[in-house]
């Protein structure tokens, strides 16, 4: 069964099996409008993030955000890779997503990054529900970012998320303009799900 969803965005998404529409409404947009995101709205996203599951309910996520034109926005923006800076400058909010990789007793929390990824996903799904798109970035200078944010040794910056309401892809320079409307694709289920070790492909 082919399902497509074009409700909130120009991206064509086809799935083999039907899934919740919200999962299709989240996508990594690059064209953001000038409409600000109010702190009240942001708090809905952080509340959603907090409801992710985590090992030992440790909740190892920390978020540091800067709204457009703030010092923190400029600081986070300055650490982004050049290709990300081209479009992320129009974001209304940049968020540093931080993992505390240790439990209070000093032992390592091996699932910290996993749990922080889950919290980020909750945040982005709640954002999609409110018409806000987010774009996670691993393309930033971690060493500089962690130094600027004075991140201690027991923590890492996992990603930086750009948030904003969507604007037209026409506003983007190439190659981002084309990418913004290129259909999203995924591996078929059989490429990553196995019911026997003989078939397992790693």
Q: How far is the CB of 142 from ligand FMN (least distance, A)?
A: 12
Q: Residue 142 in contact with residue 156, Cβ under 8 Å?
A: yes
Q: Nearest to ligand FMN by Cβ — which residue?
A: 139
By beta-carbon proximity to ligand FMN, the closer residue of 36 and 139 is 139
DSSP state at residue 55: G
Q: How far is the CB of 195 from ligand FMN (least distance, A)?
A: 26
Q: How far is the CB of 1 from ligand FMN (least distance, A)?
A: 20
By beta-carbon proximity to ligand FMN, the closer residue of 184 and 190 is 184
By beta-carbon proximity to ligand FMN, the closer residue of 85 and 103 is 85
- Rounding to the nearest 10 degrees, give the CA dihedral for residues 97, 26, 126, 20: -130
- Among residues 2, 162, 22, the alpha carbon closest in space to that of 83 is found at 162
Report helix, strand or coil for 41: helix
By beta-carbon proximity to ligand FMN, the closer residue of 7 and 199 is 7
- Enumerate binding residues for ligand FMN (CB under 6 A): 27-28, 84, 136-139, 159, 184
Alpha helix segments (H runs only) across 51-158: 71-78, 82-88, 112-129, 142-148
Q: How far is the CB of 49 from ligand FMN (least distance, A)?
A: 14
Integer Cα distance of 141 and 136 in angstroms: 14
């Amino acid at each position: 069964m082919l399902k497509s969803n074009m409700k909130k965005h120009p991206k064509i998404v086809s799935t083999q099996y039907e899934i919740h529409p919200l999962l299709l409404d989240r996508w990594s947009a690059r064209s953001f409008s000038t409409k600000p995101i109010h702190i009240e709205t942001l708090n809905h996203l952080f509340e959603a993030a907090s409801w992710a599951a985590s090992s030992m309910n440790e909740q190892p996520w920390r978020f540091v955000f800067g709204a457009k034109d703030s010092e923190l926005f400029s600081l986070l923006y300055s650490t982004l890779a050049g290709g990300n800076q081209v479009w992320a400058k129009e974001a209304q909010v940049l968020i540093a997503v931080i993992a505390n990789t240790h439990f209070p007793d000093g032992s390592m929390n091996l699932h910290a990054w996993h749990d922080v990824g889950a919290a980020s996903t909750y945040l982005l799904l709640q954002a999609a529900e409110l018409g806000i798109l987010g774009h996670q970035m691993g393309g930033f200078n971690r060493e500089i970012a962690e130094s600027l944010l004075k991140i201690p040794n027991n923590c890492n910056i996992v990603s930086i998320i750009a948030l904003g309401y969507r604007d037209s892809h026409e506003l983007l320079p190439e190659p981002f303009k084309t990418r913004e409307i290129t259909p999203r694709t995924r591996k078929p289920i059989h490429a990553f799900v196995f019911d026997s070790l003989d078939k397992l492909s790693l």
